[in-house]
Chains A and B, each alone.
Chain A
């Protein structure tokens, strides 16, 4: 394999490639022209912020937008103001009555709390030892 052969190989491969480029069909040529137009159009209509370091600010803007959205959702969320919801309006009123009737530290409230603690204690023990026969 001499240098002359190598040069001949390079010339032949280059010529074959150029022939294949010249022989591209009209469909491909047309689509390439469209692609070029689209690229030039994209360059002409790029967003104004891109001129002011848009790339650098894009992640920061994204994080800020996400934070604002998060705060807005939290502020507007029904969970924030109404942690317990009830499907029946009447039972909601009953709950309100109960809450209104018993302020913190009153014997009723303490009794309800104690009932809950007893129940969870019972449930825990049952789960560990199994149900009574």
Chain B
């Protein structure tokens, strides 16, 4: 019977793990929540720029949040941001790979072809909460839309470097950490991205 009791206890712990000391958890949770709240909207927009689809972007952001909190929350909070964006970028690449595979499979099947990248073709569908009655807001939204299209045309590493440096405002060291490359590579990718974007968007933009 002793063995049964031990196993039973183990199952009880498995199903209802004992909470950690309340004070420590509270402080750690608050800090983590503050970090995620600060970063989540920008992360979503960056994922949306890369993936076009808002639902996919939300899924990728949520996965990145969960992975960060589960696996890296014990790391110093200064490391959270590069780690988070590294996880996010991996998630974005996974979705893009799955889409590529799906597209290849669909091309072999008869019937209407599904292109997952065309799910959100209405250019204004992804524009966030704009007020069409205000021409300036509309022009800004259109300019952002053009920037997004140009960003998607960039190689993945250039897009990543540009978004982390320009959109997220990360310094070169943190960007290098998030991208898993040297600072020199970050500078090269970023510089090429800026030149390519300016060439695509032209002087009028």
Contact = CB atoms under 8 A, between A and B. Distances in A.
Interface of A: 1, 5-6, 9-10, 12-14, 16-17, 19-21, 23-25, 28-29, 31-32, 35-36, 38-40, 42-48, 50
A35 B62 contact: yes
B194 interface: yes
Given A40-B69, A42-B70, A17 B62 contact: no
A101 B14 CA distance: 57
Most chain A C-beta atoms within 10 Å of own C-beta, residue among B19, B29, B45, B127: B45
A17 B40 contact: no
Contacts of A9: 194, 197-198
Q: What is the predominant secondary structure among interface residues of chain A facing chain B?
A: helix
A47 B62 CA distance: 19
Given A9-B198, A13-B166, A25 B128 contact: yes
Given A24-B128, A28-B58, A47-B17, A38 B143 contact: no
A13 B58 CA distance: 23
Given A32-B41, A35-B58, A43-B32, A20 B65 contact: no
Given A25-B129, A35-B40, A48-B13, A13 B147 contact: yes
Q: What is the predominant secondary structure among interface residues of chain B facing chain A?
A: helix
18 contacts: A9-B194, A13-B166, A16-B144, A17-B147, A19-B144, A20-B45, A20-B128, A23-B130, A24-B41, A25-B128, A32-B40, A35-B61, A36-B36, A36-B37, A38-B65, A39-B62, A40-B32, A43-B69
Contacts of A1: 195, 198
A47 B14 contact: yes
A23 B128 contact: yes
Nearest to B71: A55
Contacts of A45: 17
